[in-house]
A and B are shown apart, each in its own frame.
Chain A
Amino acid sequence: MGKLYDRLMKDYRLREGLNACINCGTCTAICPAAEFYRYDPRRIVDIVQHQDDEQIEELLKSNTIWYCGECMSCVTRCPRRNAAGLVIMALRNLAIETGLFMESEKGRQMYLLCKDLNHNVLNYGYCVYPRLFGYKEHQEAGLVWEWVHDNIDDVFDRLGANLDKDGPGAMRKIPQKDLDELKRIYDITGATERLEHVRQAGLKKAEELGLTEEEYCQKLYTECSPKHFNH
């Protein structure tokens, strides 16, 4: 698969995000993920900086690179203006390109994320589409969201939105011409290819496990090893 470090260096995020890490650990100290997961961005940046392909490959196969929340709190505090969060984004990108994301529980979640988010983008023009944000899957959204969802047209109308209607306004129906442009952007910038790559890898895994697509999605949505956590 070529020298992994060289492939990483083609990613603008790595070129922007890694100057010269002094291994001070400030990023780990400030990191919300490092407190929750067994996660150490200092160590990840150090591995990349050492250009050790074997260790980089281990990272790409691991759960570790999927723990970051991309909040970018690390950027503010780094005394050398590195961005551990951007390094992570480049690693995740390479894990997907190489197919190594399928080696970890957290990496395999890409199947669901790709499917759901981009369905919303390509069909409605939004990353979040409230009709598909159901209470059953999001009970943490509260009993008030159950009420909103049950009365979605009336509530959005009451609050001055323009849900699924023509013209400007909140949650308007985005014209098909504009959705077609988004699709063309996806096609020529590699998004369509990536989504299909992730889809095929997921379906193959589901088949190996003897699961239907729906059962596989449910497994991805709920499966969680206790080994991820700090305590």
Chain B
Amino acid sequence: MIYEGKKKIWAEYQKEIPEDHYFYVRSCIRQSFFPASEATFLDITRNKLGKDIFETEHHTTCGGIAYHSDTIPQETVMTIIARQFALMHKYGYENYVCSCITSFGLYCETMETWREFPELQQKIAENLWKTCHLEFAKPKFLVHASDLVFKYRMQIAAKSKFKLVNKNTGEPLRVVEHIGCHYSKMFPSKGVGGAEYPYVLVGMIEAWGGQIVDYPERRHCCGFGFRQYLIKSNRGYSLSNTHKKFESMEPFKPDMIITNCPGCPYFLDRWQYVIAETEGKTYGENGHGIPVFTYEEVAGLVMGYDPWDLGLQTHQVSVEPLLDKIGIPYDPAKKYLGKNGKYLGEPQKPQCLK
């Protein structure tokens, strides 16, 4: 790896990220599969770092998955997005932070299309007024929630209780980062570090003590593909793409994977389970998988949050070997408890994946 060359490219993609005062919008997938990650993001930014991150219950989906499955017209999704932006303006904010990469890419594309075709922007503004009686506005700054965690990474490191280091050997953990295609593949200048050498997760890993794993299919898609996953008969596409990535990263023996997009951790986690159960192949140590995390979960772990408060019990690939490797304490008896200690039973055990 020509590290100096990469540093130069990263330097060309330094994104301006305001320090504070954001209007926050959630992600359909992250809320559904990693709700604790969004809770952790808000707890860290608001309560640990004292930032103003505002949320209203009136925001909705951006419509991105429906749009990228080709079910709704471009004008529809643009008007939904205009409504989200208008809510930001209504509540007195000009910085917009979203939890979803599909949304982030779509916001970038929409604003670029509006810039290029002002008559379309005008039409969307009229649609917005007719349907919602809201005033059209655009964010001054648009960021993904990981951009903020990247910005605060040193503050998080300063408050950390653990590092991404093997407690037995003292060596940095080998960490695979997976960015999510719509973060910067369409508009490289909108992502920290661009599309070829995105730095948004690399910066977190370095700040928190880990070591980056570079591998041939590092930039390959996780395989969501919208309709390619949503319809059962298309899912071979999704599985094959994840399989390709794992075959490529396997020789580098990663300890963990950190992801940017809400969908990618779901696919990288669950397709490992499917590969294990159907082919008997596992990619981690001793029959385990490689644990996959959201960036909020990793931030929470280094800051000393209880792994079960972070929702790690809802991953299919077990996280305990990694927690042991770092030395993060956890109580196995509390893994499957609900609020107030209610026992919820336990998931069935996979046959192959430990």
Contact = CB atoms under 8 A, between A and B. Distances in A.
Interface of A: 11-13, 15-16, 32-33, 35-37, 66, 68-73, 75-76, 83, 89, 92-93, 96, 106, 109-110, 112-114, 116-118, 121, 125-130, 133, 137, 140-148, 150-151, 154-161, 166-172, 174-175, 177-179, 181-182, 184-191, 194-195, 198, 220-224, 229
Contact of A188 (B33, B55, B112, B131): B131
Given A16-B112, A191-B76, A224-B233, 6 more contacts: A112-B231, A113-B70, A142-B273, A146-B347, A179-B60, A181-B83
Query: Interface extent on B, as a size class?
Result: 35 or more
Contacts of A112: 231
A133 to B, nearest CB: 7
B237 A121 contact: no
Q: Is the interface of B mostly helix, strand, loop or mixed?
A: helix
Nearest to B62: A127
B32 A194 contact: no
Contacts of A188: 127, 130-131
B304 to A, nearest CB: 17
Nearest to A116: B230
B259 to A, nearest CB: 15
Interface string B6-48: 0000000000000000000010111111011011000000000
A20 B16 CA distance: 32
A209 B55 CA distance: 49
B311 interface: yes
B237 A147 contact: no
A28 to B, nearest CB: 15
A157 B225 contact: no
A25 to B, nearest CB: 18
B211 interface: no
B32 A70 contact: no
Contacts of B74: 11-13, 93
Contacts of A198: 71
14 contacts: A12-B113, A32-B223, A33-B228, A36-B236, A70-B226, A114-B71, A133-B32, A143-B347, A144-B314, A159-B314, A170-B38, A175-B57, A190-B75, A194-B71
B61 interface: yes
B344 interface: yes
B31 A113 contact: no
Interface string B226-257: 11101111111101110010000000000000
A127 B79 CA distance: 16
A32 B238 CA distance: 9
Contacts of A121: 60-61, 63, 66
Nearest to B180: A71
Contacts of A179: 60
A143 to B, nearest CB: 4
Interface stretch (B144-152, B170-178, B181-189): B181-189
